[in-house]
A and B are shown apart, each in its own frame.
Chain A
Amino acid sequence: MLFISPPTYIAAVLFLSLMGFLYWAILRGMVNTPSETLPTVQFFSIFWIPVFFVVPLLTMRSIAGERSIGTLDTLMTTPTSRVAVILSKFAGAYLFYMLLWTLTIGFPLLTQKLFPHAAESGALLELAPLAGSFLFLATSGLLFISIGIFASSVTRSQLVAGMLTFTTLFVVIIGGQQMGNLADAGGDLSSWAVATVNYLQIFEHLDDFSRGIIDTRPFFYYASTSFLLLGLSTLVIEAKA
C-alpha cells in the first residue's frame, strides 16, 4: 500500500529536494568559512529536519488510513496474524525511510563527479563518518518509524496520527537535548539522573557514531523502545480492530 500511494512519493521528493538544498548550503558555507568538521558529519547532524516531516508522512496512513476506509477489517479476516500486520507496516515504512537516506549518498557522489577539482575527494566521501552516520540513522530509524506506526494505530484519523507522530518525535529528539542542556546548566543532578539523561541524548548518539564510537547502549535504547511500541500497536489493533 505504501508504494502505490502518492503521499509516499511526495514525501520522497520533498525529502530529496530539501536534503539536496541543505547539502548545497553546507558546501557553500564551507567554501566561505572553512570548518573543521567534515561536510558529511555536518549534513547528518541536521537529520532531525527531514525526520520531522518524512516519518509522519510515511507512517500516518499505515494503520489509521486502513482503519478509516475500513480495509483494516478485511485485513483482519484473513489468516494473517496481527503481529505480521504491524511488522509488515513497520518494515515497509522503515525500508523506504532507509532507502531515502541511502539516496542522499548521491549528493557527495554528484559533487565529486561534477567538480572533481573543487573538493578533495577524501573529504567528501570519507568512509568512516559515512558508515557511522548510516548506522546511527538505521538504529534511530527503528524508534522513529515505530513511533509513527504506534501513533497511526491508536487513531482512525491520519491527521491526528501525523500530528501525534510529529509531537512525539519533537519531544524525543529535542526534549532529550533540552534535558541535557538543563543537566549541564544545573550541574546538581544525581549520577543516575545524569546517566538517564545521557542515555536519551539522540544528538550525542549521532556524535559518537559519526566519530566511530559504537556503544551498545543506544542500540538497546532504540531497539527496546521500538519493540515496546510495536508490541503496543499489535495490542491496540487487536482490541480496536
Chain B
Amino acid sequence: METTPSIRVKDLTRQYGALTAIHKVNFTVNPGEVVGFLGPNGAGKSTTMRILSGIMSATSGSAWVGGICVAQNPHEVKRKIGYMPENNPLPDDMRVVEYLRFRARLKEVPGRQLRAAVQEVMEICDLARTARRKIIGTLSKGFRQRVGIADALLGDPEVIIMDEPTIGLDPHQIQGIRKLIDNLRGKHTVILSSHILPEIERSCDRVIIINRGRIVASGTSAELREEFLPGNRFSLVVEGTDTAVATCLAQRGLDAAILESTLLAENRSRLILRVENDGDLGPQLMQALSNHRDFTLHSLAPREPNLEEIFLAATKRSWEETIETKPKITA
C-alpha cells in the first residue's frame, strides 16, 4: 500500500500585490524524512513555510499536510504541525516551563499528560535541568532556540517546520541543534530552512533549492552533484606549468579539463581538474602524472563538490534561465 506523503505541495503560488513570492512550487516530503529548504534571502522559503503552517493563504495552488488540504481544513492541519518561525519569537516575561505549559494547553495536550509532555520536550531539548525556571528574556540565543524547538515538538506533531533554526548561533550551539534534529529523524517529518549550506548538508536527507520563488533543484546531495556538477573532480598540487599538466593528461588519453588554478608559491600551484573518463581514475592519474620531467606532482586528492558549489551552480542556472523574462520575483 502506498503511504500518504507527509507534505505535498502542488503549483503553490503566492503574490504580494504585483510581487510574486513563490511561483508554481511543487514538492513532496515523505514521512520521517528530514528535508532542507535552501535558498538565498528572499527566495520564498519563509513564504512556503508560512503557507504550509496555515498562517498565510496561497494565491493559487494547493498544499496537503498528512493528506489534509491546508486551505480546506487549516484547523486540522495545525494539529499535525509544529512550527518554529524565523527569529523564533518568544514572550520575554515568561518562565520556560510556564511558556511550554501554556503552549501545550493551546496545542490541546490533554490535562493529565500536560506535565509529562512538557517534561519530555524539555529533556529532548536539554532544558529540563538548566533552564526550567529561567525567564525567557534572560536566556542566551542558543537556549532560546531550544525553547522554540521544544515548543515545535509539543503535542507530538507529525510534521515539524523550522525556519532558520540555527541562525545567529555559535558553532557549539549549531552542533547541539544538529544533534537534536538527528534525534528527530524517523520519528517526525522535518522541514528546515537555512541559507547556511554545510548545515543543511549535514542534517538533511534531501535538499530542495529555491531561488526567486521557484524550485531550481531537489534531491539528495549526491543526486544534485550528479545533476549540476557532473564528472569527477580532483585537486592536485604541482610544481610546473598548467599547460604541461594538460598536455601530459591529453597524451595519456584522459579527457580532463583544468577548472581552477591557484598559485600557491613560486612555480607551485593548486589545480582543480574535472575528468570525464570512467573507471578508477585515481590510480590512472597518479600513474600519468608521476615521474614527469616538466612538472612534479606534490599531492593528488579526489574532490567532492560541496553543497555550496551545487547551490551556486543551481542558482546561477536559474538566473540564466529567467534572465530573459521580466524580473518579478522577490519577497
A interface residue numbers (CB < 8 A to B): 1, 4-6, 69-71, 73-81, 241
Contact = CB atoms under 8 A, between A and B. Distances in A.
Interface string B75-108: 1101101011101011111100010000100111
A241 B83 contact: no
B94 A70 contact: no
A5 B93 contact: yes
Given A5-B93, A69-B91, A78 B107 contact: yes
A74 B78 CA distance: 11
Nearest to B151: A74
A70 B148 CA distance: 12
A63 to B, nearest CB: 13
Contacts of A4: 91, 93-94, 98
Nearest to B80: A79
B91 A70 contact: no
Contact of B85 (A5, A6, A73): A73
A76 B90 contact: no
Contact of A74 (B56, B83, B92, B93): B83
Contact of B81 (A1, A5, A77): A77
Given A70-B87, A71-B90, A74-B103, 12 more contacts: A4-B93, A69-B91, A71-B91, A73-B50, A74-B151, A76-B55, A77-B54, A77-B83, A78-B78, A78-B103, A78-B107, A79-B106
Contact of B89 (A1, A5, A70, A241): A70
Given A4-B93, A4-B94, A241-B55, A74 B75 contact: no
B13 interface: no
Given A78-B106, A79-B75, A79-B78, A241 B91 contact: no
Contact of A70 (B85, B106, B107): B85
A76 B54 contact: yes
Interface in B279-321: none
Nearest to A68: B89
Question: Which 5 A-B pairs rank lowest in CB-CB distance, beginning with the nearest?
Answer: A70-B89, A78-B106, A77-B83, A79-B78, A77-B53
A4 B76 CA distance: 31
A241 B56 contact: yes
A36 B219 CA distance: 85
Contact of A80 (B53, B76, B106): B106
A30 B267 CA distance: 104
B89 A71 contact: yes
A78 B154 CA distance: 11
Contacts of A69: 89, 91-92
Nearest to B104: A78
A6 B92 CA distance: 12
Interface string B106-118: 1110000000000
Contacts of B55: 73, 76-77, 241
A105 B81 CA distance: 48
Most buried by A among B76, B84, B106: B106
Contacts of B54: 76-77
Nearest to B82: A77
A74 B93 CA distance: 16
A225 B178 CA distance: 52
Contacts of B151: 74
Nearest to A69: B89
Most buried by B among A73, A77, A80: A77
Interface in B45-88: 50, 53-56, 75-76, 78-79, 81, 83-85, 87
A108 B302 CA distance: 89
A80 B105 CA distance: 10
A149 B69 CA distance: 32
B167 to A, nearest CB: 14
A74 B106 CA distance: 10
B94 A74 contact: no
Contact of A79 (B56, B79, B89, B93): B79
A70 B144 CA distance: 14
Nearest to A65: B91
Contact of B107 (A5, A76, A79): A79
A127 B85 CA distance: 53
Contacts of A241: 55-56
A1 B93 CA distance: 8
Nearest to A76: B55
Contacts of B107: 78-79
A80 B79 CA distance: 10
Contacts of B103: 74, 78
